[in-house]
Chains A and B, each alone.
Chain A
Amino acid sequence: MTDQAVAREVGRSRLRKEDARLITGQTNWTDNIQVTGLLQLAVLRSPMAHARIGRVDVSPALDRPGVVAAFSGADLADGLGSLPCAWPVTEDIVLPGHPPIAVDEVRHAGDPVAVVVARDRYLAADALEAIEVDYEPLPPVLDLEAALADDAPLVHADKGTNRSYVWPLATGESFAAVRERAEVTVKRRYHQQRLIPNAMEPRAVVVTPLAASGEYTVYSATQIPHILRIMLATVTGVPEHKLRVIAPDVGGGFGSKLQVYGEEAIALAVARRLGRPVKWTESRSEGYLATHHGRGMIQDVEVAATREGRLLGLKVDLIADMGAYLMLVTPGIPILGAFMYPGIYKMDAYEFTCTGVFTTRTPTDAYRGAGRPEATFAIERIMDELAAELGLDPVELRRRNWIRHEEFPYTTIAGLTYDSGDYEAATDKALALFGYDGLRAEQRERNARGDTVRLGIGVSTFTEMCGLAPSRVLRDLRYGAGGWEAASIRMLPTGKVEVVTGTSPHGQGHETCWSQIAADVLGVPFEDVEVVHGDTRSAPQGMDTYGSRSLAVGGEAVHRAATRVVDKARKVAAHLLEASEQDLDFTDGVFSVKGSPEARRTIQEIAFETFSSHDLPDGMEPTINAEYLVDPENFSYPHGTHLCAVEVDTETGMARIRSYVCVDDVGRVVNPMIVEGQVHGGLAQGIAQALYEEAVYDDEGNLVSGTMTDYLVPSAVDLPDFVTDRTETPAASNALGVKGVGEAGTIASTPAVVNAVVDALRPFGVLDVRMPCTPERIWQAVRSAAAGKEAAA
């Protein structure tokens, strides 16, 4: 066949279809939903990190005005199973039960202990204060290493240990052997602080029951309506076919809404019990306790190399903070990183272990990048340390070790096969944009002058694995489900098109991008395409949105489903034009007979002909609609080179980003404007980890950074202008040639910034600054390095 989808749309910065409602306030956030008789649910939370629950008396709350019901954990225990963990990473993992509302024991500040249901949110908040709870304090468990000691107090006493699992990986030669022959080794400990994702829309859930038929509609600010439906059926016992889950407009997620939350299950259980609709909306400070956190790891990293700077091996030991419970994919997050520690480099040995540890803190789970930022940070930071040790320029050390473009596809020491990439091209472009040599010269000059404000330059040459995920790989990793994605295309009688996707966007722009993909394949106008998503009734099949998977898997499914529509339409066209299928051209939505272009039918006309079904080929099913489920054959591997220049005031310790340049390769680009936006936002969050944000706990296990006043989300004043550019090496693993972009900026930027900070301070003898690189930590680092030098002299 000769037809070629003409890329009129793909590659073009189409303005977003999503924007019209968002810029005018005509939105449908979950908290906006009002239905007749709606009751407000509010949750009483533990003020203590760890305690046995004595008495819970909800009866005083029932006497408060407007209160309809109040329940303790014990009251609801009957209808609520344990919240799910879908990723038990080892066979012998310690996987404690996780009641959506605590019954006997609370295990982190913010663990739910009781709920009230009242006529409005004000009355519900008042009634919470009337509930009486007796707590018998238990020791908090906060230090990751101390938690592993034999005599440590236990988060889950019945499990006899705080160790959830140990997950090892060893490939290539033994690390001990390559260390023997190495001329240089560098070993460092890095801390990945806990982060709070801070999607701007707080979580919310509304459940409306149809009591007569036992059906429930759950509206939730979630990234995963499809997974949530299955899991809520399991947790509450409401049969799956009686549950409909809708993700309305969702205001950001970044992994924090990739979860099956207690409040979702509680709201369903309460609506079921009362037979009335209920709403729960979290406040920001409540969310800081109740919505999962990200990161939280200690990383011991060692590299072995030759004097010339050839990497021989890498050894990584992680201790990862699970928090109090294993939630949906909690234990798997560090394992997603396990394959990424070798980064873009060739080496002979790789050893990795991760120990998952319970603590009495809010559970951790996916946060933008999920395991891969931590891995990229470790390898990119220690590459700089190795470069310093060897007296090499950090970019040069990377060149000596990275996979050269002619070596793709390349199977890494961790066992992944990188399908494509061109690290040389991205790096050269980034260095030129950045003015690398000029900045190095300025840095030397300022160092020589003893300037109090030092210049530091940081580089990060990253790759990541995304587009989650090949189902067989997920099986091998003991993940509980597959990684396919679904799309179906409905050709409406008037020629308009509905694209039904299983992805569940919450800011990414799928409505726009999927329209572009479908419009190209079908040859119909962009405006004639509507994308349907986020409702398990209208978009019944899907695996949702996370892990930079939506385009590489879901977009690919749209592409293939549309191709199937064209194939079916071709049969109808051939019949109507009295030609053989082989004699038809299909261009710009028009089937025409080769050699007689006047004999033509548009695909939109075919849609009507199929609807009327008056004249279809014999035996043909009267539809050209099509569905396609894609199970990706590989991950996608975006890569890029990020460069950051910081100025560090050595008197105060303040670090300010002076310039930031990145060149990303995310394969073929569907919408450059949206890709740039994803990169910008990713950078902001990665930089925020490097410089600003940290969930701080005190010795009792209270979250000290418990409001937006104390947890420093950067504003427009605190972030620089970014210079972004791209190289384009198409992915080989999907027909579109696309790679993910949602997480790349976050993964790449954190080490670029910290490398720059440390680079600025290296003349003082500073080897590391713990994240976030606060002014005080920088000041302390300079001071201790100076004191160390004096002591040595």
Chain B
Amino acid sequence: MIPAAFEYTRPESVDEAVRALAAAGDEAKVLAGGQSLLPLLRLRLAFPELVVDVGRIPALRGVREDGGTLVIGALTTHHDVLRDPLVRRHAGLLAAATQTVADPAVRHRGTLGGSLAHADPAGDLPAVVLALDGELVVAGPNGRRTVAAGDFFVDYLQSALAPDELLVEVRLPKTDGWGFHYEKFHRVAQAYAIVGVAALVRRDDGRIAEARVGLTNMGSTPLRAVAAERALAGADGPDAVARAAELAAEGTRPPQDVSASPEYRTHLARVLTRRAVLAATEAR
């Protein structure tokens, strides 16, 4: 299938991009790697009048440290995230989950910022950034603002980005020393996660001192398994983890779709949370 016609601009700076977006009102789409947008355009599920291609803005690419925070440019591709030593050292969970995104060719083009801005609750990275307590830096006509991941994902395919705003950076507090694991449950390699669980565990003296659990595809946005996290604090041993994991689906509203029922997703969230947390506890 073939996209409908659109105007195209390729700004060379963030400011220029923001101006282009502002001028277009509601009718523009940002093109980063295009791995979510192009299929939508081809199936004619999106009809932007203007496509703003931010792919050639070098400032949006790359990984750096800022004290206790890892700063990843929104345009950094999945492929580059995977190969980045800073990401591996300070945000291993992100690397682990990125490895499960789509396939190598899509990872060459697709970007971290694009995956987050697309705000697909079935995507792997939103729940991961949520679990990492990430912050998203957004540029708009009035300068930059920082949005906590928990506030960024508003609804299904809907983020807190205004039409004239551009996601420029993802800031992740370093999780050095935390155990991590991303448990993706899908039927074939390319399929979206039926449910995914992103687990981070900080241990203290053999016990779990603190755990964070992000859930993929358990609602209209990525979610934290808050009740399970609370129960995991202080958990000692697999049985305690299993008991806490039983709370993983509390407060979620898992979708009904062609790949699973809400009931099954609820069950999976519990099993996968247990497995992810145990794996994270063993891993370092």
Contacts and interface: CB of A to CB of B under 8 A. Distances in A.
A in complex with B: yes
Interface of A: 121-122, 125-126, 129, 283, 285-286, 651-652, 654, 692, 696, 704-705, 707, 709-710, 712-718, 774-776, 779-780
- Label chain B's interface by main secondary structure: loop
A776 B264 contact: yes
A126 B5 contact: yes
Contacts of A715: 188-190
Contacts of A126: 4-5
A285 B45 CA distance: 13
Contact of A285 (B43, B192, B261): B43
B261 A776 contact: yes
B105 interface: no
A652 B185 contact: yes
A715 B106 CA distance: 15
B1 A286 contact: yes
Given A126-B4, A652-B271, A775-B187, A710 B264 contact: no
Given A286-B1, A776-B264, 20 more contacts: A122-B2, A125-B1, A126-B4, A283-B1, A285-B43, A651-B271, A652-B271, A652-B272, A704-B258, A705-B258, A709-B190, A709-B192, A710-B258, A710-B259, A715-B189, A717-B188, A718-B189, A775-B185, A776-B260, A779-B264
A121 B5 CA distance: 13
Query: Which 10 residue pairs of A and B lie closest in terms of their CB atoms, listed nearest first?
Result: A717-B189, A125-B2, A776-B264, A283-B1, A715-B189, A718-B188, A712-B188, A704-B258, A651-B271, A122-B2
Contacts of A654: 185
B43 to A, nearest CB: 7
Contacts of A779: 264, 267
Given A122-B2, A652-B271, A774 B187 contact: yes
Using C-beta atoms within 8 Å of the partner chain, give the interface range for chain B.
20 to 34
A632 B127 CA distance: 62
11 contacts: A126-B5, A285-B1, A651-B271, A692-B188, A696-B258, A712-B188, A713-B188, A715-B188, A718-B189, A774-B259, A775-B187
B101 interface: no
Contacts of A713: 188
Contacts of A652: 185, 268, 271-272
B44 to A, nearest CB: 8
Nearest to A718: B188
Interface in B10-62: 39, 43
B43 A707 contact: yes
A745 to B, nearest CB: 19
B181 to A, nearest CB: 16
B191 interface: yes
- Label chain A's interface by main secondary structure: loop
Nearest to A714: B188
Contacts of A285: 1, 43
A696 to B, nearest CB: 5
Contacts of B261: 776
Nearest to B103: A715
A381 B188 CA distance: 25
Contacts of A692: 187-188
Interface string B172-210: 000000000000010111111010000000000000000
A66 to B, nearest CB: 12
Contacts of B192: 709
A126 B192 CA distance: 30
A776 B194 CA distance: 10
A717 B185 CA distance: 14
Contacts of B194: 775
A121 B185 CA distance: 39
Interface centre among A709, A776, A779 (most CB of B within 10 A): A776
Nearest to A777: B264
Contacts of B2: 121-122, 125
A780 B258 CA distance: 16
Contacts of B43: 285, 707
A139 to B, nearest CB: 23
A730 B236 CA distance: 66
Interface in B246-284: 258-261, 264, 267-268, 271-272
Contacts of B4: 126, 129
A709 B258 CA distance: 11
Contacts of B271: 651-652
Contacts of B264: 775-776, 779-780
A486 to B, nearest CB: 40
B266 to A, nearest CB: 11
A716 B104 CA distance: 14
Nearest to A713: B188
Nearest to A42: B2
A712 B191 CA distance: 7
Contacts of B272: 652
B8 to A, nearest CB: 15
Contacts of B260: 776
A776 B265 CA distance: 9
Nearest to A711: B258
A286 B43 CA distance: 10
Nearest to A710: B258
A122 B4 CA distance: 8
Interface string B72-83: 000000000000
A122 B268 CA distance: 44
A701 B272 CA distance: 34
A589 B177 CA distance: 76
A481 B39 CA distance: 44
A540 to B, nearest CB: 38
Interface string B215-238: 000000000000000000000000
A126 B259 CA distance: 32
A298 to B, nearest CB: 21
B36 to A, nearest CB: 12
A515 to B, nearest CB: 36
B191 to A, nearest CB: 6
A430 to B, nearest CB: 27
A124 to B, nearest CB: 8
A19 to B, nearest CB: 24
A203 to B, nearest CB: 15
B196 to A, nearest CB: 13
Contacts of B185: 652, 654, 775
A39 to B, nearest CB: 16
A707 B194 CA distance: 17
A716 B188 CA distance: 10
A774 B264 CA distance: 12
Contacts of B1: 125, 283, 285-286
A125 B41 CA distance: 13
B187 A712 contact: yes
Nearest to B185: A652
A717 B188 CA distance: 8
A283 B187 CA distance: 24
A253 B5 CA distance: 33
A222 to B, nearest CB: 23
A129 B2 CA distance: 12
Contacts of B190: 709, 715
Contacts of A707: 43
Interface centre among B1, B4, B5, B39 (most CB of A within 10 A): B1
Nearest to B42: A283
A654 B192 CA distance: 15
B246 to A, nearest CB: 13
Nearest to A783: B267
A714 B189 CA distance: 8
A652 to B, nearest CB: 6
A670 to B, nearest CB: 34
Contacts of A125: 1-2
A692 to B, nearest CB: 6
Contacts of A712: 187-188, 191
Nearest to B195: A652
A704 B260 CA distance: 13
A122 B5 CA distance: 9
Contacts of A651: 271
A122 B2 CA distance: 6
